[in-house]
Amino acid sequence: MTEMCWWSPGLGDMAVSNTIGSNVFDILVGLGIPWGLQTMVISYGSTVKINSRGLVYSVVLLLGSVALTVLGIHLNKWRLDRKLGIYVLVLYAIFLCFSIMIEFNVFTFVNLPMCREDD
């Protein structure tokens, strides 16, 4: 008798592709379309001014997380199991912590300080 699984065989490839492809999609499409519309449709020939100096750090962090994900999958012999799932969740938590710290100017000054509301 074979053991019934709650996942469908063969869908692990799709999950790994999604973890890698979504970061690339976010960078290329999420930034490319708005900037392209600004320079081609709204104000033809204009330039886009980026007001967040943390963008470079965020892109490096995204690409680093993709590299560490692929490295983790390779070190796990290209098998998707509980150990790899925990690794990817921990990696995502670290990514979120670093992203938040970058936006709150913990490492370097990238954003203007937030205004305080006096009640």
Domain boundaries, the chain: 18-42+51-104
Determine if residue 78 is left, alpha or beta; phi over 0 gives left, psi from -120 to 50 gives alpha, anything else beta: left
**Distance separating alpha carbons of residues 2 and 24, to the nearest angstrom:** 39
Average pLDDT of the segment spanning 97-107: 86
Q: What is the mean pLDDT of the chain?
A: 80
Per cent of the chain over pLDDT 90 is: 13
Per-residue confidence (pLDDT) for residue 9, from 0 to 100: 59
Over the stretch 20-63, which tens digit does the pLDDT of each residue have?
777 778 778 888 898 889 899 988 888 887 766 777 888 888 88
First to last CA, the chain: 69
